[in-house]
Chains A and B, each alone.
Chain A
Amino acid sequence: MKKKDIVFGVIWLLLGLVLTVLCCLETLDEFWSGMGSALMVVGIVRLLRSYRLSRSETYREQREVAETDERLHFIRNKAWAWAGYLFIIICALSTIVFKLLNQDLLCMASGGAVCLMLVLFWVSFFILKKKY
């Protein structure tokens, strides 16, 4: 687990660094510069976490409990479910608002997002139904 964190931390950091350098050399556009900075931050955070895990026994125990605690798993799953419901409601309302504003492209995009979420839900539902 710790080794994996270090390896991925280094990979993200290097990838971010390469993207940032390429953007500085004007080989890539600004989008990739932002992506590079974000990857570098992710890499640094992962490496700092690994360092802290290797130094502090208390922190390691806290992390272990946080990863295995069933109430936190339950809350996490519930939060994802709520996020999904809210996303569908917001997209559905946006579809109506964009239609009223004659923004057909945005209307189609938000309507498509609602359809995609519903398809993903049913696919997940049938897969999980077979599993359990």
Chain B
Amino acid sequence: MKNKIEAIRKEKGILQEEFAKAMGVSRQTISSLENGRYNPSILLAHKIATFFGMTIEEVFIFEEE
């Protein structure tokens, strides 16, 4: 699943460390999410979308395999 986390985070001028702290996860998790190596749980996806003031669909791009 692709996402726009990195682009949105950079647009808002937030560092990975700050974002990780706000989400209650490690910086490595944010890095993995941004690189698409790890797909978040629905709870984390909701938390991320809420943090950016967006919907899950606006942040995450669901592609059928």
User: Residues on B close to A: CB < 8 A?
Assistant: 20, 24-26, 28-29, 32, 38, 40-41, 43-44
Q: List 23 A-B contacts (CB under 8 A).
A: A65-B20, A65-B24, A65-B26, A66-B26, A68-B24, A68-B25, A69-B24, A69-B25, A69-B26, A69-B29, A70-B25, A70-B41, A70-B43, A70-B44, A71-B25, A71-B26, A71-B28, A71-B29, A71-B32, A71-B38, A72-B26, A72-B29, A74-B38
Considering only CB atoms and an 8 Å cut-off, how many residues of chain A contact the other chain? 8
| B20 proximity list for chain A (CB < 8 A) | 65
Contact mask for chain A residues 34-74; partner B; CB cutoff 8 A; 1 contact, 0 none: 00000000000000000000000000000001101111101
**Which residues from chain B contact A66 at a C-beta distance below 8 Å?**
26
Q: How far is the CB of B47 from chain A (nearest CB, A)?
A: 10
How far, in whole Å, are A72 and B25 apart by their CA atoms in the complex? Answer: 9
Q: Which 10 A-B pairs have the closest CB atoms?
A: A71-B29, A69-B25, A69-B26, A65-B26, A71-B38, A70-B41, A69-B29, A68-B24, A70-B44, A71-B32
Which residues of A from 64 to 86 have beta carbons under 8 Å from B? 65-66, 68-72, 74
